Amino acid sequence: MSYAQLIGDWQALAVLFVAGVVPNQIWRMLGLWFGGGLDEGSELLVWVRAVATAILAGVIAQIVVEPPGALASVPDALRYGAVGAGLVVFLLTRRSIFAGVVTGEVFMLAGKWWLG
């Protein structure tokens, strides 16, 4: 393992801060600013939580619909099928996260193996 692999150059770290840390962190700090004054039972908070859940749902959909990296090598039908199969088992097992995740993964891997 070389110095370049372990540490790298400072430009790459600067890019990390400009393109990654700041655009990400700004939302948490805004949340800290606003969240300081909200009441736990307020109606506004119910809406805010619903929007948080729906945006997270969008992030989930984005990874499945427009897959990054190696996931793009898996056919569309297999990715959607994996989510569907996982969801069915998740519901059948009275909401077991573990059972749902394992089923989705096994479905995708089995499909990929079967397709060759």
Partner 1 sequence: MALPPLDSPQWNSSWLAFGWGLRSVTQTILTLVLFATYLGIGALAHDTHFSLLWALCSTLFVWAGPAQIILITTLGSGATIIQSAIAVTVSAIRLFPMVVSVLPLMRTPTTKRRELFFAAHLTAVTLWVECHRFLPLVPRERRIAFVNGLGFGLVSVCLTANTVGYFLAANLTQTLGAAILMLTPLSFLFSTARNSREAADVVALTLGVLLYPLAAKMNSGVDILVSGLAAGTIAYGVHWWREVRA
Binding positions for partner 1, 58-87, rule CB under 8 A: 58-71, 73-74, 79, 82-83, 86-87
Return the beta strands (E) in 13-102 as ranges: none
Nearest distance, CB of residue 58 and partner 1, angstroms: 4
Does the protein bind partner 1 through residue 88 (CB under 8 A)? no
35 touching partner 1, by CB under 8 A: yes
Contact call for residue 25 and partner 1 (CB under 8 A): yes
Query: Least Å distance between CB 113 and partner 1?
Result: 8
Burial tier of 96 (Cβ tally within 10 Å: 0-12, 13-18, 19+): middle
Name all contacts of 38-42 with Cβ < 8 Å and 24+ positions apart: none
Please tell me whether residue 98 binds partner 1 under the rule CB under 8 A.
yes
Determine how many CB atoms are found less than 10 A away from the CB of residue 51: 10
Binding partner 1 (rule: CB under 8 A), the pick from 26, 77, 92, 110 is 26
